[in-house]
Amino acid sequence: MRDTPYLAVDEQLLESNLAAMADHARQLGVALRPHAKTHKSVEVGRRQLAHGAVGLTVATVSEAEVFADAGFDDLFIAYPIWAEGPRATRLRALAGRVRLRVGIDSIEGARMLAHAATSGEHPVPLAVAVEVDSGHHRTGVEPGQAGVIAAASLEYGLTVDGVFTFPGHSYAPEARASAAHDEALALEIARESLRGLGLECPVVSGGSTPSADAAEGRASGGVLTELRPGVYPFFDAQQWELGTVGPGRIALTAVATVVGARGARVVVDLGSKVLGADRAAYATGFGRLPADAAARIVALSEHHATIEFASADEAPVLGERVRIAPNHVCAAINLADELVIESNAAEAAVWPVDARGANT
Protein backbone atom coordinates (compact mmCIF):
# COMPACT_ATOMS: atom_id res chain seq x y z
CA MET A 1 0.00 0.00 0.00
CA ARG A 2 1.32 3.41 -1.02
CA ASP A 3 0.76 6.42 1.23
CA THR A 4 -1.69 8.98 -0.13
CA PRO A 5 -1.77 11.45 -1.75
CA TYR A 6 -0.26 10.49 -5.11
CA LEU A 7 -1.09 10.77 -8.80
CA ALA A 8 -2.13 7.47 -10.41
CA VAL A 9 -2.19 6.88 -14.17
CA ASP A 10 -4.23 4.07 -15.73
CA GLU A 11 -1.82 2.75 -18.36
CA GLN A 12 -4.53 1.17 -20.55
CA LEU A 13 -6.50 4.44 -20.67
CA LEU A 14 -3.33 6.41 -21.35
CA GLU A 15 -2.48 4.14 -24.28
CA SER A 16 -5.96 4.30 -25.77
CA ASN A 17 -6.00 8.10 -25.43
CA LEU A 18 -2.61 8.33 -27.16
CA ALA A 19 -3.78 6.03 -29.96
CA ALA A 20 -7.07 7.89 -30.46
CA MET A 21 -5.47 11.31 -30.94
CA ALA A 22 -2.78 9.85 -33.24
CA ASP A 23 -5.54 8.24 -35.35
CA HIS A 24 -7.47 11.49 -35.41
CA ALA A 25 -4.40 13.42 -36.67
CA ARG A 26 -3.81 10.80 -39.36
CA GLN A 27 -7.42 11.06 -40.48
CA LEU A 28 -7.13 14.85 -40.67
CA GLY A 29 -3.92 14.49 -42.66
CA VAL A 30 -1.94 16.60 -40.20
CA ALA A 31 1.27 16.14 -38.23
CA LEU A 32 0.81 15.58 -34.50
CA ARG A 33 3.19 17.57 -32.28
CA PRO A 34 1.78 17.10 -28.75
CA HIS A 35 2.36 19.73 -26.10
CA ALA A 36 4.66 18.24 -23.45
CA LYS A 37 3.88 20.95 -20.87
CA THR A 38 0.99 18.71 -19.84
CA HIS A 39 2.95 15.59 -18.94
CA LYS A 40 6.57 16.83 -18.60
CA SER A 41 7.45 13.15 -18.87
CA VAL A 42 10.10 11.63 -21.11
CA GLU A 43 8.26 8.31 -21.08
CA VAL A 44 4.94 9.82 -22.18
CA GLY A 45 6.76 11.78 -24.88
CA ARG A 46 8.41 8.61 -26.17
CA ARG A 47 5.04 6.90 -26.36
CA GLN A 48 3.61 9.86 -28.28
CA LEU A 49 6.43 9.51 -30.81
CA ALA A 50 5.85 5.76 -30.97
CA HIS A 51 2.24 6.52 -31.91
CA GLY A 52 3.49 8.67 -34.78
CA ALA A 53 4.01 12.18 -33.40
CA VAL A 54 6.59 14.13 -35.45
CA GLY A 55 8.11 15.84 -32.43
CA LEU A 56 7.06 17.67 -29.29
CA THR A 57 5.84 21.13 -28.40
CA VAL A 58 7.14 22.71 -25.19
CA ALA A 59 6.50 25.99 -23.38
CA THR A 60 9.96 26.98 -22.13
CA VAL A 61 13.65 26.66 -22.95
CA SER A 62 14.16 24.56 -19.84
CA GLU A 63 11.45 22.10 -20.90
CA ALA A 64 13.18 21.87 -24.29
CA GLU A 65 16.48 21.17 -22.52
CA VAL A 66 14.98 18.28 -20.56
CA PHE A 67 13.58 16.63 -23.70
CA ALA A 68 16.72 17.32 -25.76
CA ASP A 69 18.80 15.68 -23.02
CA ALA A 70 16.53 12.63 -23.32
CA GLY A 71 17.18 12.36 -27.07
CA PHE A 72 14.19 14.20 -28.58
CA ASP A 73 15.54 15.94 -31.66
CA ASP A 74 12.62 17.98 -33.01
CA LEU A 75 11.15 20.55 -30.65
CA PHE A 76 8.88 23.57 -30.94
CA ILE A 77 8.94 26.16 -28.15
CA ALA A 78 5.50 27.60 -28.86
CA TYR A 79 6.15 30.77 -26.90
CA PRO A 80 7.42 34.25 -27.80
CA ILE A 81 10.80 33.79 -26.09
CA TRP A 82 12.67 36.98 -25.18
CA ALA A 83 16.22 35.80 -25.92
CA GLU A 84 18.46 37.75 -23.59
CA GLY A 85 21.16 36.93 -21.02
CA PRO A 86 21.72 33.27 -20.10
CA ARG A 87 18.53 32.30 -21.95
CA ALA A 88 20.05 33.45 -25.27
CA THR A 89 23.11 31.27 -24.66
CA ARG A 90 20.95 28.30 -23.68
CA LEU A 91 18.77 28.73 -26.75
CA ARG A 92 21.82 28.79 -29.02
CA ALA A 93 23.20 25.62 -27.40
CA LEU A 94 19.84 23.94 -27.92
CA ALA A 95 19.53 24.99 -31.56
CA GLY A 96 22.99 23.53 -32.13
CA ARG A 97 21.89 20.03 -31.17
CA VAL A 98 18.20 19.63 -32.09
CA ARG A 99 15.88 20.84 -34.85
CA LEU A 100 14.44 23.83 -32.99
CA ARG A 101 11.49 26.06 -33.82
CA VAL A 102 10.56 29.04 -31.63
CA GLY A 103 7.42 31.19 -31.56
CA ILE A 104 7.60 34.92 -32.30
CA ASP A 105 5.05 37.70 -32.36
CA SER A 106 7.16 40.85 -32.67
CA ILE A 107 9.95 42.19 -34.84
CA GLU A 108 11.98 42.96 -31.72
CA GLY A 109 11.57 39.37 -30.57
CA ALA A 110 12.76 38.10 -33.95
CA ARG A 111 15.79 40.38 -33.77
CA MET A 112 16.70 39.05 -30.31
CA LEU A 113 16.31 35.43 -31.49
CA ALA A 114 18.48 36.06 -34.56
CA HIS A 115 21.10 37.70 -32.38
CA ALA A 116 21.10 34.68 -30.07
CA ALA A 117 21.46 32.28 -33.01
CA THR A 118 24.38 34.16 -34.60
CA SER A 119 26.28 35.66 -31.68
CA GLY A 120 28.30 32.58 -30.82
CA GLU A 121 31.47 31.41 -32.48
CA HIS A 122 29.44 29.41 -35.02
CA PRO A 123 25.98 30.57 -36.04
CA VAL A 124 23.29 27.93 -35.48
CA PRO A 125 20.18 27.36 -37.57
CA LEU A 126 17.00 28.55 -35.88
CA ALA A 127 13.47 28.29 -37.24
CA VAL A 128 10.54 30.42 -36.14
CA ALA A 129 6.78 30.34 -36.50
CA VAL A 130 4.73 33.50 -36.21
CA GLU A 131 2.08 33.40 -33.50
CA VAL A 132 -1.28 34.88 -34.39
CA ASP A 133 -4.24 35.66 -32.14
CA SER A 134 -7.29 33.62 -33.11
CA GLY A 135 -9.54 34.86 -30.30
CA HIS A 136 -7.81 33.95 -27.04
CA HIS A 137 -6.30 37.48 -26.84
CA ARG A 138 -3.12 36.59 -25.03
CA THR A 139 -0.01 36.67 -27.22
CA GLY A 140 0.13 36.64 -31.05
CA VAL A 141 -0.30 39.37 -33.67
CA GLU A 142 -3.38 40.06 -35.76
CA PRO A 143 -3.43 37.32 -38.43
CA GLY A 144 -3.01 39.84 -41.25
CA GLN A 145 0.27 41.05 -39.69
CA ALA A 146 1.94 37.62 -39.76
CA GLY A 147 3.66 38.32 -43.10
CA VAL A 148 5.39 41.43 -41.77
CA ILE A 149 6.89 39.51 -38.85
CA ALA A 150 7.87 36.63 -41.12
CA ALA A 151 9.59 38.93 -43.61
CA ALA A 152 11.57 40.62 -40.84
CA SER A 153 12.58 37.21 -39.47
CA LEU A 154 13.92 36.15 -42.88
CA GLU A 155 15.76 39.46 -43.12
CA TYR A 156 17.44 38.67 -39.79
CA GLY A 157 18.56 35.28 -41.12
CA LEU A 158 16.02 33.07 -39.35
CA THR A 159 14.22 30.21 -41.08
CA VAL A 160 10.45 30.74 -41.23
CA ASP A 161 8.48 27.51 -40.77
CA GLY A 162 5.08 29.17 -40.90
CA VAL A 163 2.37 30.31 -38.53
CA PHE A 164 0.66 29.05 -35.39
CA THR A 165 -2.07 29.90 -32.94
CA PHE A 166 -3.52 28.63 -29.68
CA PRO A 167 -7.31 28.69 -29.65
CA GLY A 168 -7.47 28.92 -25.86
CA HIS A 169 -10.99 30.33 -26.00
CA SER A 170 -12.05 26.73 -26.69
CA TYR A 171 -11.98 26.38 -22.88
CA ALA A 172 -15.55 27.61 -22.40
CA PRO A 173 -18.98 25.97 -22.56
CA GLU A 174 -20.16 25.27 -26.12
CA ALA A 175 -17.06 27.00 -27.54
CA ARG A 176 -15.17 24.00 -28.90
CA ALA A 177 -16.46 24.07 -32.47
CA SER A 178 -16.54 27.86 -32.79
CA ALA A 179 -12.97 28.14 -31.48
CA ALA A 180 -11.85 25.59 -34.08
CA HIS A 181 -13.58 27.73 -36.71
CA ASP A 182 -11.86 30.92 -35.46
CA GLU A 183 -8.56 29.08 -35.45
CA ALA A 184 -8.93 27.98 -39.08
CA LEU A 185 -9.94 31.45 -40.19
CA ALA A 186 -7.05 33.19 -38.39
CA LEU A 187 -4.51 30.69 -39.70
CA GLU A 188 -5.78 31.02 -43.25
CA ILE A 189 -5.46 34.81 -43.11
CA ALA A 190 -1.99 34.43 -41.58
CA ARG A 191 -0.87 31.98 -44.27
CA GLU A 192 -2.16 34.27 -47.02
CA SER A 193 -0.39 37.19 -45.33
CA LEU A 194 2.90 35.33 -45.83
CA ARG A 195 2.04 34.25 -49.37
CA GLY A 196 1.05 37.79 -50.27
CA LEU A 197 4.63 38.78 -49.58
CA GLY A 198 5.90 35.90 -51.69
CA LEU A 199 6.88 33.79 -48.66
CA GLU A 200 6.44 30.07 -48.16
CA CYS A 201 4.29 28.81 -45.27
CA PRO A 202 4.85 25.08 -44.96
CA VAL A 203 3.67 24.86 -41.34
CA VAL A 204 0.18 25.93 -40.25
CA SER A 205 -0.06 24.83 -36.63
CA GLY A 206 -3.02 24.91 -34.29
CA GLY A 207 -4.89 22.83 -31.89
CA SER A 208 -5.97 22.44 -28.34
CA THR A 209 -7.50 19.34 -26.82
CA PRO A 210 -11.08 20.75 -26.69
CA SER A 211 -10.98 22.04 -30.29
CA ALA A 212 -9.20 19.04 -31.83
CA ASP A 213 -12.45 17.17 -32.60
CA ALA A 214 -13.71 20.04 -34.74
CA ALA A 215 -10.38 20.76 -36.48
CA GLU A 216 -10.11 20.41 -40.28
CA GLY A 217 -6.82 19.29 -41.78
CA ARG A 218 -5.40 18.84 -45.25
CA ALA A 219 -7.36 15.64 -45.79
CA SER A 220 -10.64 17.57 -45.83
CA GLY A 221 -9.44 20.80 -47.39
CA GLY A 222 -8.66 22.45 -44.02
CA VAL A 223 -5.78 24.82 -43.48
CA LEU A 224 -4.05 22.96 -40.63
CA THR A 225 -0.85 21.01 -41.27
CA GLU A 226 -0.02 20.40 -37.60
CA LEU A 227 -1.93 19.83 -34.34
CA ARG A 228 -0.56 20.59 -30.84
CA PRO A 229 -2.99 19.22 -28.23
CA GLY A 230 -1.61 18.83 -24.70
CA VAL A 231 -4.15 17.42 -22.24
CA TYR A 232 -5.38 14.40 -24.26
CA PRO A 233 -3.08 11.69 -22.80
CA PHE A 234 -4.93 12.03 -19.48
CA PHE A 235 -7.89 14.42 -19.84
CA ASP A 236 -9.22 15.98 -16.63
CA ALA A 237 -12.32 17.33 -14.90
CA GLN A 238 -12.33 20.40 -17.16
CA GLN A 239 -12.46 18.27 -20.31
CA TRP A 240 -15.27 16.25 -18.76
CA GLU A 241 -17.23 19.38 -17.86
CA LEU A 242 -16.55 20.95 -21.29
CA GLY A 243 -17.90 17.79 -22.91
CA THR A 244 -14.67 16.82 -24.68
CA VAL A 245 -14.83 13.34 -23.11
CA GLY A 246 -16.77 11.42 -20.52
CA PRO A 247 -15.28 10.39 -17.16
CA GLY A 248 -14.41 6.94 -18.50
CA ARG A 249 -11.53 8.36 -20.52
CA ILE A 250 -9.83 10.23 -17.67
CA ALA A 251 -6.50 8.43 -17.20
CA LEU A 252 -5.04 10.37 -14.25
CA THR A 253 -6.48 10.74 -10.77
CA ALA A 254 -5.15 11.90 -7.43
CA VAL A 255 -5.59 9.21 -4.79
CA ALA A 256 -6.66 10.46 -1.36
CA THR A 257 -7.61 9.08 2.05
CA VAL A 258 -10.67 10.18 4.00
CA VAL A 259 -9.50 11.91 7.21
CA GLY A 260 -12.81 13.42 8.26
CA ALA A 261 -16.39 12.21 7.78
CA ARG A 262 -19.67 13.82 8.83
CA GLY A 263 -22.75 12.57 7.08
CA ALA A 264 -22.63 13.31 3.35
CA ARG A 265 -19.52 15.49 3.73
CA VAL A 266 -16.02 14.10 3.95
CA VAL A 267 -12.57 15.67 4.08
CA VAL A 268 -9.65 13.97 2.28
CA ASP A 269 -5.91 14.35 2.71
CA LEU A 270 -5.05 16.36 -0.38
CA GLY A 271 -5.70 19.89 -1.50
CA SER A 272 -4.43 22.57 -3.84
CA LYS A 273 -0.83 21.42 -3.37
CA VAL A 274 -1.79 18.20 -5.19
CA LEU A 275 -4.74 19.17 -7.42
CA GLY A 276 -3.76 22.76 -8.18
CA ALA A 277 -6.19 25.61 -7.47
CA ASP A 278 -7.45 26.07 -11.05
CA ARG A 279 -11.18 26.66 -11.12
CA ALA A 280 -12.66 27.97 -14.35
CA ALA A 281 -15.94 29.89 -14.25
CA TYR A 282 -17.76 26.89 -15.70
CA ALA A 283 -16.33 24.35 -13.20
CA THR A 284 -18.74 22.76 -10.72
CA GLY A 285 -16.04 22.36 -8.07
CA PHE A 286 -12.31 21.94 -7.47
CA GLY A 287 -12.07 18.61 -9.31
CA ARG A 288 -14.38 15.68 -9.95
CA LEU A 289 -14.68 12.04 -8.94
CA PRO A 290 -14.86 9.94 -12.13
CA ALA A 291 -16.48 7.13 -10.13
CA ASP A 292 -19.24 9.37 -8.71
CA ALA A 293 -20.65 12.01 -11.02
CA ALA A 294 -22.92 13.39 -8.29
CA ALA A 295 -20.13 14.15 -5.81
CA ARG A 296 -18.85 17.74 -5.64
CA ILE A 297 -15.60 19.11 -4.23
CA VAL A 298 -17.05 22.11 -2.45
CA ALA A 299 -13.94 23.46 -0.69
CA LEU A 300 -10.21 23.19 -1.20
CA SER A 301 -7.32 24.32 0.94
CA GLU A 302 -3.66 23.35 0.75
CA HIS A 303 -4.01 19.91 2.31
CA HIS A 304 -7.76 19.39 2.57
CA ALA A 305 -10.52 18.84 0.03
CA THR A 306 -14.12 18.81 1.25
CA ILE A 307 -16.33 16.53 -0.82
CA GLU A 308 -20.10 16.51 -0.66
CA PHE A 309 -21.77 13.26 -1.69
CA ALA A 310 -25.40 12.82 -2.72
CA SER A 311 -26.15 11.28 0.68
CA ALA A 312 -24.41 9.92 3.75
CA ASP A 313 -24.95 6.41 2.34
CA GLU A 314 -22.88 7.28 -0.74
CA ALA A 315 -20.07 8.85 1.29
CA PRO A 316 -16.90 6.90 2.11
CA VAL A 317 -15.88 6.34 5.73
CA LEU A 318 -12.74 7.32 7.65
CA GLY A 319 -9.67 5.68 6.15
CA GLU A 320 -11.32 4.85 2.79
CA ARG A 321 -9.66 5.98 -0.41
CA VAL A 322 -11.16 8.12 -3.18
CA ARG A 323 -9.85 9.09 -6.61
CA ILE A 324 -10.14 12.65 -7.83
CA ALA A 325 -9.62 13.99 -11.35
CA PRO A 326 -7.95 17.41 -11.10
CA ASN A 327 -9.67 20.29 -12.86
CA HIS A 328 -6.50 20.98 -14.85
CA VAL A 329 -4.15 18.03 -15.23
CA CYS A 330 -1.16 20.16 -16.38
CA ALA A 331 -1.20 21.98 -13.03
CA ALA A 332 -1.51 18.78 -10.98
CA ILE A 333 1.37 17.02 -12.75
CA ASN A 334 3.61 20.06 -12.33
CA LEU A 335 3.10 19.78 -8.56
CA ALA A 336 4.21 16.13 -8.41
CA ASP A 337 7.65 14.57 -8.59
CA GLU A 338 6.34 11.30 -9.99
CA LEU A 339 3.42 9.52 -11.61
CA VAL A 340 2.39 6.10 -10.33
CA ILE A 341 1.52 3.94 -13.32
CA GLU A 342 -1.15 1.31 -12.77
CA SER A 343 -1.78 -1.50 -15.19
CA ASN A 344 -4.99 -3.47 -14.69
CA ALA A 345 -5.36 -1.82 -11.28
CA ALA A 346 -1.93 -2.95 -10.02
CA GLU A 347 1.07 -0.67 -9.58
CA ALA A 348 3.33 -1.26 -12.60
CA ALA A 349 5.89 1.55 -12.64
CA VAL A 350 6.80 4.98 -11.34
CA TRP A 351 7.68 7.62 -13.93
CA PRO A 352 9.46 10.81 -12.90
CA VAL A 353 7.93 14.15 -13.89
CA ASP A 354 11.20 15.00 -15.63
CA ALA A 355 10.45 18.62 -16.49
CA ARG A 356 8.58 19.53 -13.29
CA GLY A 357 9.08 23.19 -12.45
CA ALA A 358 11.02 23.83 -15.69
CA ASN A 359 9.78 27.40 -16.12
CA THR A 360 12.78 29.34 -17.42
Which CB atom, from 23 or from 337, has the smaller least distance to its own copies?
337
CB of 12 to its own copies, least distance (A): 26
In angstroms, rounded to a whole number, what is the distance separating the alpha carbons of residues 151 and 131?
Answer: 14
Q: How many Å is the Cα radius of gyration of the chain?
A: 21
Is 347 among the residues that bind its own copies (CB under 8 A)? no
Is 195 among the residues that bind its own copies (CB under 8 A)? no
In angstroms, rounded to a whole number, what is the distance separating the alpha carbons of residues 228 and 207?
Answer: 5
> Which residue from 189, 204, 258, 329 is in contact with its own copies, where contact means CB under 8 A?
258
The answer to whether 339 touches 9, Cβ cutoff 8 Å, is: yes
Which CB atom, from 79 or from 235, has the smaller least distance to its own copies?
79
Is 284 among the residues that bind its own copies (CB under 8 A)? no
| Alpha-carbon distance values, 345 to 135, 246, 251 (Å) | 42, 20, 12
Reply yes or no: is the peptide bond before residue 5 cis, omega within 30 of 0.
yes
Is 84 among the residues that bind its own copies (CB under 8 A)? yes
In angstroms, rounded to a whole number, what is the distance separating the alpha carbons of residues 128 and 117?
Answer: 12
CB of 302 to its own copies, least distance (A): 6
Burial 4-38 (b: 16+ CB within 10 A, else e): bbbbbbbeebbeebbeebbebbeebebbbbbbbbb
Is 272 among the residues that bind its own copies (CB under 8 A)? yes
Taking CB under 8 A as the criterion, which residues in 308-327 touch its own copies? Answer: 318-319
3-state helix, strand, coil in the chain (%, to 5): 35, 25, 40
Which one of the spans 177-185, 188-196, 232-240, 251-259 is the region binding its own copies (CB under 8 A)?
A: 251-259
Is 281 among the residues that bind its own copies (CB under 8 A)? no
CB of 39 to its own copies, least distance (A): 13
Is 79 among the residues that bind its own copies (CB under 8 A)? yes
What residues contact residue 199 under an 8 Å CB cut-off, 6+ apart? 147, 150, 151, 154, 160
In angstroms, rounded to a whole number, what is the distance separating the alpha carbons of residues 48 and 32?
Answer: 9
> Which residue from 13, 25, 42, 59 is in contact with its own copies, where contact means CB under 8 A?
59
> Which residue from 69, 73, 155, 302 is in contact with its own copies, where contact means CB under 8 A?
302
> Which residue from 10, 32, 36, 37 is in contact with its own copies, where contact means CB under 8 A?
37
Count of residues that interact with its own copies, criterion CB under 8 A: 59
To 10 degrees, what angle do helices 61-69 and 86-95 make?
A: 40
- How far is C-alpha 217 from the chain's CA centre? 20
Is 198 among the residues that bind its own copies (CB under 8 A)? no
Query: What DSSP string describes 27-39?
Result: HHT-EE--BTTTT
Beta bridge mates, 130: 104, 163
Is 80 among the residues that bind its own copies (CB under 8 A)? yes
> Which residue from 12, 16, 119, 301 is in contact with its own copies, where contact means CB under 8 A?
301
In angstroms, rounded to a whole number, what is the distance separating the alpha carbons of residues 139 and 40?
Answer: 23
Which one of the spans 26-34, 55-63, 179-187, 237-245 is the region binding its own copies (CB under 8 A)?
A: 55-63
CB of 153 to its own copies, least distance (A): 16
- Residues forming the site for its own copies (CB under 8 A): 1-6, 37, 59-61, 79-82, 84-87, 90, 105-106, 108-109, 112, 138-139, 168, 257-260, 267, 269-270, 272-274, 276-279, 299, 301-304, 306, 318-319, 328, 330-331, 334-337, 357, 359-360
